Amino acid sequence: MQLRFVGCGDAFGCGGRDNTCFHVTGERVNFLIDCGASSLPALKRQGVARDDIDLILITHFHGDHFGGLPFLLLDAQFTRRTRPLVIAGPEGIETHLAQVMEALFENSSKTKQRFDLTIVALAPETTVRFGEVSITPYPVVHGESGAPFLGYRIETEGRVIAYTADTEWTEALIPLGRAADLFIAEAYTYDRLVKNHLSLKALETRLGEIKPKRLILTHMSDDMLERLDILPYEAASDGLVVEI
Ligand SMILES: [Zn+2]
Ligand SMILES: [Zn+2]
């Protein structure tokens, strides 16, 4: 099984990185985790076959995690996709998707897709299965209002992939990431506290309780990117592919 960091940047293009989008492929699974605004060109540039993707998991409705869906869906329509697609994310996803489609391309939310498109709202701490992908969403802390924010623990083909999404430290990250084969954690800043985001130092103090088998840092601001050479951890980069 492998995971490709199609994009691992923040919302503001720090380091020239693309918005968040991870592509997971195994023997029988093929899915995306998040689909930020720049995801379609990034997927094309990296030669990812979009037609083979069965599932897109969305952590929250910020543009750098969710804003790529209108482009991806219109591209699927125009390239005559036939394979069914499931898009799953926090409560309210159907409304948010219609709104962003309409805001970017008028009338696009009313177009009947040529392929089966299923939108699924996920509830925190309720495990759901999509084919061979088992997903447990955890509530994370990334804003006071609006739709819920989710991080994911994903079990598939005998592996566990966990992703914090964007969040400040919350105890939910412990069961979310515990002993995961791959734990992808936001490390927005080094030690500076930024509301709704995770610093590496805040994560580090609790890492012993999570004990991931492999940790990869993502969603880094310039503050972190400037220190990449001296950090004792693996860090994501656009196009990086890891075996799990
Ligand atoms: Zn973000
Ligand atoms: Zn966000």
Cα distance between residue 108 and residue 66, in whole Å:
16
Q: How far apart are CA 235 and CA 42, in angstroms?
A: 19
Kindly identify the ligand whose nearest atom is closest to the C-alpha of 150.
2
Ligand nearest to the CA of 188: 1
> Residue 77: its pLDDT value, please?
95
Calculate mean pLDDT across residues 183-194. Answer: 96
Type and span of the H or E element at 74:
helix 69-78
Distance separating the N- and C-terminal Cα atoms of the chain = 5
CA of 61 to the centre of ligand 2 (A): 7
Residues with CB under 5 A from ligand 2 (ion): 62, 166
Confidence (pTM): 0.97
Name which residue leads in pLDDT, 144 or 101: 101
Question: Which pLDDT value is given to residue 144?
Answer: 78
pLDDT of residue 146: 63
d(CA 14, ligand 2 centre) in Å: 14
Mean pLDDT score of the chain = 97
Phi/psi at 203 (5° precision): -65, -45
Q: Three-state DSSP class for 207?
A: helix
197 C-alpha to center of ligand 1: Å? Answer: 9
Backbone angles phi, psi at 222, to 5 degrees: -55, -35
Task: Give the distance (Å) from ligand 2 centre to CA of residue 117.
Answer: 25
Those residues whose C-beta lies under 8 Å from the C-beta of residue 162, and which sit 6 or more positions away, are 151, 152, 153, 154, 176, 177, 180, 182, 183, 184, 212
Q: Report how far ligand 2's centroid is from the alpha carbon of 60 (Å).
A: 7
In DSSP terms, 216 is beta-bridged to 184, 234
Rounded to the nearest angstrom, the distance between the alpha carbon of 82 and the centre of ligand 2 is: 31
Contact at 8 Å (CB) between 173 and 144?
A: no
Q: pLDDT (tens digit, 9 = 90+) per residue, 71-88?
A: 999 999 999 999 999 999
Rounded to the nearest angstrom, the distance between the alpha carbon of 114 and the centre of ligand 2 is: 31
DSSP class of residue 142 equals S
21 alpha carbon to ligand 2 midpoint, in Å?
13
Q: Which pLDDT band holds residue 234 (cuts at 50, 70, 90)?
A: very high
CA angle 243–160–163, rounded 5-degree value? 90
Ligand with the closest atom to the CA of 196: 2
Q: Please tell me the number of the ligand nearest to residue 11's CA.
A: 1
Cβ–Cβ < 8 Å for 68, 100: no
d(CA 75, CA 111): 13
Give the tens place of pLDDT for each residue, 24-52: 999 999 999 999 999 999 999 999 999 99
- Statement: residue 188 has pLDDT above 70: yes
Statement: residue 155 has pLDDT above 80 = yes
CA of 231 to the centre of ligand 1 (A): 21
pLDDT, tens only, 197-217:
999 999 999 999 999 999 999
Rounded to an integer, the average pLDDT of 94-121 is 95
Distance CA 179, CA 208 (A): 10
Pair of tokens at residue 89: 């994310």
Q: Which ligand is nearest to the CA of 221?
A: 1
